[in-house]
Amino acid sequence: MSSPQKLRVGVVGAGEVTQVVHLPTLTFLSDQYTVTAICDVSREAAEHVAIKWNVPHVYTASAEMVRRDDIDLILIANSDGQGRYSERIIRTTYQDAYTTEFLDLHQTLTTGADLKTTPEDAMEDLDVFDMIMAHLSP
């Protein structure tokens, strides 16, 4: 039986949460995900993240990034109130894709599980996050 193909991720937002949470998590789960592109309104921030995390493609406009054919999943990690705008662009570009947290989407795609929506599920996600951060800490 062959192993599942990695999901190729484009990340919108190169801020602190992306650098401290999302990219370390994606790196920890590198058997399932590879980051293909990073997008931020600050080219300097996007380039910094690209160099630090070995991301091959840098963008300052998410509408341009989502046109790539080597991105399976978009992780929206911007905190400046533009998340809804980004989701609208992505849904227009990928008509049959629904944007959500990458782990929930991957679980839904691979197992048919329901998306997480309850407070209990959010607490479970925090437990997983704590486990990942403990593993990554020296």
Residue-range domain boundaries for the chain:
7-136
pLDDT given at position 38? 97
Question: Which among 99, 57, 75, 72 has a CA at the least distance from the CA of 12?
Answer: 75
Q: How are the residues of the chain apportioned to helix, strand and coil, as percentages rounded to the nearest 5?
A: 50, 15, 35
Confidence grade of residue 74 (pLDDT, cut at 50, 70, 90): confident
* Residue 96, pLDDT above cutoff 50: no
Question: Which among 123, 119, 82, 77 has a CA at the least distance from the CA of 100?
Answer: 77
Residue with the two structure tokens 């380039």: 47
CATH topology of domain 7-136: Rossmann fold (3.40.50)
Angle made by CA atoms 43, 132, 48, in degrees to the nearest 5? 15
pLDDT tens-place string over residues 7-66: 899 999 998 889 988 999 999 989 989 999 999 999 999 999 999 999 999 999 888 888
